[in-house]
Structure 1
Amino acid sequence: MIYLDQAASSFPKPKVVAEAMVEAVNDYGANPGRGNHALADRAAKVIQTTRKLLAERFGVSNPKKVLFFSNATGALNQAISGFPFSEGDHVITTRFEHNSVRRPLEHLKEKKKIEVTYLEGNSEELAADLKAVIRPETKLVVISHASNITGEIAPLKSMMEIIKETDSKVLVDASQTAGHFPIHMKELGIDMLAFPGHKRLLGPQGTGALLVEGEIKLDPLVYGGTGSFSELPTQPDRWPEKYESGTLNTPGIAGWKAALQELDEINCVSRETYLTIRLMEGLAAIKDVMIYGPGPDVERMPVLAFNIGDISSQEIAMILDSHYQIAVRAGLHCSPTSHDFYATSDQGAVRASIGPYNTEEEIDRLIQAIDEIRNGYMEM
Structure 2
Amino acid sequence: MIYLDNAASSWPKPAGVTEAMVRVMNECGANPGRGSHQMAVQASRILFETRRKAARLFGVHNPNDISFTLNTTMALNIAIQGFVREGDHVLCTGIEHNSVRRPLEMLKRNRRVQITYVQTDSTGQIRLEDVEKVIQKNTTLIVCSHSSNLLGTILPVDKIAAIAKKHGIRLLVDAAQTAGCCSIDVEGMGIDMLAFPGHKALLGPQGTGGLYIHPDIELNPLLYGGTGGDSENIDQPHIRPDRLEAGTQNTPGIAGLGAGIDYVLQETVDKIYEKEWMLTQFLMDGLQGINGIQIIGPKMGEAKTGIVTFRMHGASSSEIAFMLDRNYQIAVRSGFHCTPLAHEAAGTKDTGAVRASFGCFNTKEDAQALVDAMKEIRHHFVK
The verdict on a shared fold, with TM-score over 0.5 as the criterion, is: yes
Root mean square deviation, CA, Å: 1.1
Measure, in 2, the Cα distance between the counterparts of 1:310 and 1:95. 28
Measure, in 1, the Cα distance between the counterparts of 2:47 and 2:323. 43
Match of 1:337 in 2: 341
Partner amino acid for 1:377? F
Match of 1:360 in 2: 364
Matched position secondary structure for 2:102: helix
Match of 2:5 in 1: 5
What TM-score comes out, normalization by structure 2 length? 0.97
Measure, in 1, the Cα distance between the counterparts of 2:343 and 2:298. 15
Measure, in 2, the Cα distance between the counterparts of 1:132 and 1:176. 28
2:100 is the counterpart of 1:101: yes
Deviations 1:94-150 (A, max 9, x none): 111110000000000011101100011235433121011123211000000000011
Question: Equivalent pairs: percent with the same residue?
Answer: 48
Tell me if structure 1 keeps the 8 A contact 2:65–2:214: yes
- Residues 265, 63 of structure 1: CA spacing in aligned structure 2 closer, same or farther, 3 A cutoff? closer
Tell me if structure 1 keeps the 8 A contact 2:273–2:305: no
Matched position secondary structure for 1:167: coil
Tell me if structure 2 keeps the 8 A contact 1:94–1:119: yes
2:81 is the counterpart of 1:77: no
Match of 1:133 in 2: 134
2:259 is the counterpart of 1:244: no
- Residues 337, 124 of structure 1: CA spacing in aligned structure 2 closer, same or farther, 3 A cutoff? closer
Measure, in 2, the Cα distance between the counterparts of 1:128 and 1:373. 43
Q: CA deviation at 1:280?
A: 0.3
Structure 2 stretches lacking a partner, 5+ long: none
Aligned length: 378
Match of 1:372 in 2: 376
Q: CA deviation at 1:53?
A: 1.2
Measure, in 2, the Cα distance between the counterparts of 1:366 and 1:62. 44
Match of 1:161 in 2: 162
Which range moved further: 59-68 or 93-102?
Answer: 59-68
Match of 1:318 in 2: 322
Tell me if structure 1 keeps the 8 A contact 2:150–2:337: yes
1:7-46 correspondence to structure 2 within 5 Å: 7-46=7-46
2:66 is the counterpart of 1:66: yes
Matched position secondary structure for 1:221: coil
2:204 is the counterpart of 1:200: no
Q: CA deviation at 1:265?
A: 2.8
Match of 1:179 in 2: 180
Measure, in 2, the Cα distance between the counterparts of 1:104 and 1:77. 6
Measure, in 1, the Cα distance between the counterparts of 2:126 and 2:253. 39
Measure, in 2, the Cα distance between the counterparts of 1:47 and 1:23. 14
Matched position secondary structure for 2:310: strand
Measure, in 1, the Cα distance between the counterparts of 2:345 and 2:314. 17
Q: CA deviation at 1:84?
A: 4.2
- Runs (4+) of structure 1 exceeding 6 A deviation are none
What TM-score comes out, normalization by structure 1 length? 0.97
Q: CA deviation at 1:163?
A: 1.4
Q: CA deviation at 1:293?
A: 0.6
Q: CA deviation at 1:86?
A: 2.4
Match of 1:211 in 2: 212
Matched position secondary structure for 2:266: coil
Q: CA deviation at 1:321?
A: 0.1
Matched position secondary structure for 1:139: strand
Partner amino acid for 1:182? S
